[in-house]
């Protein structure tokens, strides 16, 4: 644990990060920006897993291992999303949300 820092301060920072991600998810109109906001949200939750593991259950490893799994799933999700965005750009020449009406492969 970090000397002199309580768990409350770290959880405050991660909550702020989470809500910045939610704000970006709701206000952005571009598919790639939305993807970036999702990354922010996922990262905030991963820090929560790690910090709670370290502060409350220091002998366990579950939090670390779950965060490794979350990072792996996030990487897979990003690869698929980028593939979908590039395919969409080929078909309708735009990645704005308002132009996206077809979702058929």
Give the span between the Cα atoms of 35 and 81, in whole angstroms.
Answer: 8
Of the residues 19, 99, 100, 101, which one makes contact with another protein according to CB under 8 A: 19
26, HSE (Cβ side, Cα atoms, 13 Å): 5
Within residues 26-45, the interface with another protein by CB under 8 A covers 26-30, 32-33, 35-37, 39-40, 43
Q: Give yes or no for residue 24 binding another protein (CB under 8 A).
A: yes
CB of 37 to another protein, least distance (A): 6
Of the residues 21, 99, 100, 103, which one makes contact with another protein according to CB under 8 A: 21
Give the span between the Cα atoms of 11 and 17, in whole angstroms.
Answer: 10
Q: How big is the site for another protein, counted in residues (CB under 8 A)?
A: 74
CB of 7 to another protein, least distance (A): 5
Q: Give yes or no for residue 99 binding another protein (CB under 8 A).
A: no
Q: Give yes or no for residue 82 binding another protein (CB under 8 A).
A: yes
Residue environment code for 33-48, b if the CB has 16+ CB neighbours within 10 A, otherwise e = ebbebbebbbbbbbbb
Q: What is the DSSP letter of 7?
A: H
């Amino acid at each position: 644990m970090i000397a002199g820092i309580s768990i409350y301060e770290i959880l405050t920072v991660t909550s702020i990060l989470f809500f910045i991600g939610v704000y970006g998810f709701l206000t952005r109109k571009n598919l790639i920006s939305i993807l970036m906001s999702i990354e922010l949200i996922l990262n905030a939750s991963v820090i929560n897993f790690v910090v709670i593991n370290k502060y409350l259950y220091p002998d366990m490893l579950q939090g670390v291992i779950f965060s490794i799994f979350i990072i792996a799933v996030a990487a897979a999700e990003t690869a698929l999303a980028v593939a979908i965005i590039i395919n969409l750009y080929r078909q309708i020449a735009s990645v704005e949300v308002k132009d996206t009406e077809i979702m058929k492969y």
